[in-house]
Amino acid sequence: MTIRECRDETCDILKSFGNDEAEVITDIVLAHYLGLDRGRLLTMLDDEAPENLPYLLADAVNMLSMGVPVQYILGSCWFYGLEVKVGQGCFIPRPDTEILAQAAIGLLKNGGCFVELCAGSGCVSMAIAENVPNVRGTAAELSLKALPYTEANLEKYPNIKVKRADVLDPEDLNSLFEEWGEGYDLLVCNPPYIPTADIPNLAPQVQYEPETALDGGENGLKYYRYIIANADLLMKPSHRILFEVGVGQADAVSKMLSVMGYSVAVLKDLGGIDRVVFGEK
């Protein structure tokens, strides 16, 4: 059996499930199991497939049919040019969040100290640590299922500490202040921001991800409200905040920051949607 035949068969099965991205997902899975990038894969389609490849693909198709995200099947994804380990219980990084990481890198280009709240996989802290010399930071995550991924992804960055913390608990915020013996220059956060009532209507692959990483309360704004009100517990008197926000939430989050004395700006994602809210005090 050739790689092409394996590819065509897998793609046809995924299409039969109504998967709109069947071809892309097939190539991602194939390239992963063969240890190739997609460009190299396409030059080898007429080669004989390894004996175990059909069985690996069958297992992957079975999991995909149950709604398991392809990133969980592979155990990793890519974010800001970095391979990020993910698995069940850990929120999968989205391309839109690269706007948040890019803004943080720009604000910390000369070093400084940052805290990432609701860190999940730690992908934003990874991007910052990889691109900003002399930076120090803390990645805070509450979930015991996600935390091992946070730790694994940040293991090679000794300048980034990983801390279990509940961002809705003022005592935990105080403990974050003490990690470096001083407050932080920048707070960066991609919190849960989907309104509770909207969660049952999400795509099956999204619902497979941890609800705690999705549920932002009645109107999706619970975490923004609490973090903004209590930011002084862990920040320097003069500091900056960067939030990723959901569609239509930028105005509400901007007003929350303004009321607390922040100067505010909004950054758009590649689709022209208001995606990152910036506050400075």
SS3 127: helix
Strand partners, 160: 137
pTM above 0.95, yes or no: no
Task: Quick: pLDDT tens for 216-229.
Answer: 888 889 999 999 99
Axis-axis angle for helices 147-154, 123-131 (nearest 10): 10
In the chain, what is the straight-line distance between the N-terminal and C-terminal CA atoms, in Å? 63
Q: Which two tokens stand for residue 171?
A: 């005592």
The two structure tokens encoding residue 170: 């003022």
Tens digits of pLDDT across the chain (281 residues):
999 999 999 999 999 988 778 999 999 999 999 998 888 898 999 999 999 999 999 999 999 988 899 999 999 999 999 999 999 999 999 999 999 999 999 999 888 999 999 999 999 999 999 999 999 999 999 999 999 999 999 999 999 999 999 999 999 998 999 889 889 999 999 999 888 888 887 876 777 677 888 878 888 899 999 999 999 999 999 999 999 999 999 999 999 999 999 999 999 998 999 999 999 99
> Which DSSP letter does residue 215 get?
B
76 contacts: CB under 8 Å, gap ≥ 6: 83, 84, 85, 86
The CA dihedral of 174, 175, 176, 181, to the nearest 10 degrees, is 100
